[in-house]
Structure 1
């Protein structure tokens, strides 16, 4: 099996994230896919970069995953439009795609939908009380999920207009489209607004990276509170048995358990294995 990871960030964005997370989103995503599919070959494509060359022929890939991104797709910067065009080509070739956060937004726009800034504000650290729709309860992307759950998340943009042939599979109070299947051309896309690929150390890194912005938006009273919260998350990630931290932060097994966090991504990998 051969998989491709589309890195959603610009070069500057990748460098900024790697400084706090220790790796680019594409590198982290690829590492997790190799863990979920040990026999798979996984390549990374920096699709935002001008002149980026694919590591191999596109028709040689059994599936593609799309990372999150610090870009805002409605700004239509070249780093975004290159990825929109590329995903349209992937759809046209019938290659199955999974996307996290930016990946969902990218697929929605490529298939004819729209994405805008969320008037309800940013969703930070965790998307709470995600509820599967009736279609979501039957969808193989969510096999093994509880009907209601929390998941790692960080985003300020949402899908505001669904493309044709879209089925919403999960929602919550912040984002009506927390997960969806999109069919376009020959392709099928499974995507989530949250981040099943994130570990708790990734969430801690995101919070530290945003820093004063989150204080200004009222998520933390001061930077010291933010730093303590991030430190707790990082510790819990390294020591998931720390019930005291999980209790203090209001986190259940859907967050603490890496296997549960990764549910949708694991289900997609199993879907690709069956097709390959």
Structure 2
């Protein structure tokens, strides 16, 4: 975990800071008592999530997930049995379902939670996904949980709610209007808008205008810089999961799953790496 701390910080800390920049100006407009209650309440919730308490509640409210049902657990039983033989799976971790997600995938959250998608469950019920591939998917996500890489994710998700809300709105707007040439031009030239926002805020001279201008500029810069570090962190999680699959003997099953989903050169390279034994170090 320690060797990945800097990567996690670069991927997460900027989002936390931007969320604070978005929150504090709004909080300053609230009545003092209400603002104080919200601030203290937010810190209490953050402290609970950082200590590992309330993870089940966070899964429901922040990730919109639910526990697996008995019928779903029965459908997953062959895969869970394979995991149990390797010291993985429930009760070491808890399984949660994201019903609205259709891709066949999984993800690790917090200290003991693994998310499975509705698409994965549908594929299992239809008999399109062998038990070893299901086990590999769950084990891949479980690796990030057991290694501690996701332990504070619920707390980060809670604290960055304002910024995540802005990003969702931006994605929806971009998807709806991206066909307009003017919109694409503005998006590619957004750094100019950021500079203009900062300059205008400083020229007006009031604390509110300066804060608004700087916040707008920072958000614009974030759209350039932060996606890169988020991709680096996603690659780190993939590497940790892949290494775990090699150790528990589920790498070939995962490679077959990847190749069934895509035939891109990158996927072939990854599948080859998964199924190629690591070279032993040469003797000095």
TM-score (norm 1): 0.25
Q: Which has the higher helix share?
A: 2
TM-score (norm 2): 0.25
Q: Answer 1 or 2: higher relative contact order, Cα 8 Å, separation at least 6.
A: 2
Q: Which has the higher strand share?
A: 1
Structure showing greater radius of gyration is 2
